[in-house]
Structure 1
Amino acid sequence: MVRIMVVDDHAVVRSGLMSLLDGKSGLQVVGEAADGDEAIEKAARLRPDVVLMDLSMPHGKDGLTATKELKKELADTAVLILTMHDDEEYLFRAIQAGASGYILKSAPHDELLAAIRSVATGDAYLYPTATKRLMSEYIDKLKNGESAGTYESLSEREKEILAWTAKGYSNKEIAEHLIISVKTVESHKSNLMEKLGLKTRPELVKFALKKGLLHFE
């Protein structure tokens, strides 16, 4: 029996999902939550096999943050993201947070059931068009000679310099803050741009924005 917890900030959506899932062959809904904080607390107590997690929840922790924290405490619990966001950036961030799958709310019921059963057995699940698009983008990057690197491919120092650069600080200001030479800053910046396949500062700022790095103190 696959034990499921449903997390969504809309009560009507939660109710509909629970009605759809509970009682289906091999599936049992054991709990629900309206935000990330409640999801983490209830999951620790209920120990579900699969958490069906919404991304956009305005109150409390969002789905990505909740997924990351939940996986730290419950490594064996699979998180399946169920969202309206058909966006590869959200997809990448969900996978980085520890999600086992990503499916759209517009998906047919049979596809949702198959996705739940898939992640419950330890497999990964991506909705078909996402898989095709990611593969297509990856192949295009290789054909164009672009770096296939990701944020995770950067060193900690490169990540620091990426964030400071995106916030508008000059090489000299970054060097003074990190207590390194301007030449070292320039070298790290050149390396990170190459790894990420970025060519201009606006591209760097856009990348940092998508990664949620532009937090000003």
Structure 2
Amino acid sequence: MSDRTRVLVADDQTLVRSGIRLILEAHSDLEVVGEANDGVEAVQLTRDQQPHVVLMDIQMPRLDGIAAIARICASPGDAPHILVLTTFDQDDHLYDAARAGATGFLLKTAPPEQLVAAVRATAAGETLLAPSITRRLLDEFTRRPPGGGIPREVSTLTDREREVLVLVARGLSNSEIAGELVVSEGTVKSHLNRILAKLGVRDRVQAVVLAYESGLVRPGDA
């Protein structure tokens, strides 16, 4: 069916892939179009199957998930949305995955209904950056050198757009930002759309990376 969300699952554990397939294909709007057991297969199957969403593990043989994400996002045409499957206590490469082009992150311990909701949200263009994942990303930012100055793209933002970007980088949701600024959630979404366009980035995660790399926001800011 043309209206089904096409999903590719990339994980080196067969049981994990099989379990995800069973969970997703129990829903008529989701279809698993391929399974990859390493990064090389993930890149090739993405080209062949043209999924809307790729569920990507980071630690895989031959080519790891970060390198696979970078290759997928660098390929001609529209790249799929990439949802990284992460083990909170083990993965130390969330920053690199975000920088490579990951759209969002999902804990491997998430319950089935959260996995389904995450795939649907990612396919709809929403970014999944849970507070726990945001904190982990910030931990990685603190171990990296500060940015080398605010790039021209950031300087084109209005004061309000910068304010919104800072709040996004601190992990606030759209509804939380709306409450903080005393505006509607629709207004926040409009600001975000303009921010992404001005920065030349594809999603919220990329905007957060740029905000920290440029030094506009620094770990530990209140």
Q: If the length of structure 2 is used for normalisation, what is the TM-score?
A: 0.58
Structure 2 counterpart of 1:114? 117
Mapped partners of 2:126, 2:8: distance in 1 = 18
- Structure 1 pair 56/136, CA: closer, same or farther in 2 (3 Å)? closer
1:44 aligns with 2:47: yes
Count of residue pairs the alignment pairs up: 149
Identity of aligned residues (%): 38
Mapped partners of 1:76, 1:85: distance in 2 = 26
- Structure 1 pair 136/75, CA: closer, same or farther in 2 (3 Å)? same
Structure 2 counterpart of 1:63? 65
The answer on whether the counterparts of 2:58 and 2:66 sit within 8 Å (CA) in structure 1 is yes
* Aligned partner letter, 1:83: T
Mapped partners of 1:101, 1:151: distance in 2 = 26
SS at match of 1:119: helix
Structure 2 counterpart of 1:35? 38
- Offset, 1:148: 9.1
Question: Which structure would you say has the larger Rg?
Answer: 1
Deviations 1:148-177 (A, max 9, x none): 9448979xxxxxxxxxxxxxxxxxxxxxxx
The CA RMSD measured in Å over matched residues stands at 3.2
- Offset, 1:87: 6.6
Structure 2 counterpart of 1:17? 20
Deviations 1:30-50 (A, max 9, x none): 110000001111110100000
1:1-12 correspondence to structure 2 within 5 Å: 1-12=4-15
* Aligned partner letter, 2:62: G
- Structure 1 pair 69/111, CA: closer, same or farther in 2 (3 Å)? same
The answer on whether the counterparts of 1:83 and 1:105 sit within 8 Å (CA) in structure 2 is yes
- Offset, 1:131: 3.2
Larger relative helix fraction: 1
- Offset, 1:133: 5.9
Mapped partners of 1:108, 1:152: distance in 2 = 41
The answer on whether the counterparts of 1:86 and 1:104 sit within 8 Å (CA) in structure 2 is no
SS at match of 1:126: coil
Mapped partners of 1:148, 1:28: distance in 2 = 42
The answer on whether the counterparts of 2:94 and 2:137 sit within 8 Å (CA) in structure 1 is no
Mapped partners of 1:152, 1:119: distance in 2 = 32
1:80 aligns with 2:83: yes
The answer on whether the counterparts of 1:4 and 1:27 sit within 8 Å (CA) in structure 2 is yes
- Offset, 1:130: 2.0
- Structure 1 pair 152/36, CA: closer, same or farther in 2 (3 Å)? farther
Structure 2 spans left out of the alignment, 5+ residues: 152-214
The answer on whether the counterparts of 1:35 and 1:61 sit within 8 Å (CA) in structure 2 is yes
Mapped partners of 1:11, 1:112: distance in 2 = 18
Q: If the length of structure 1 is used for normalisation, what is the TM-score?
A: 0.59
* Aligned partner letter, 2:71: E
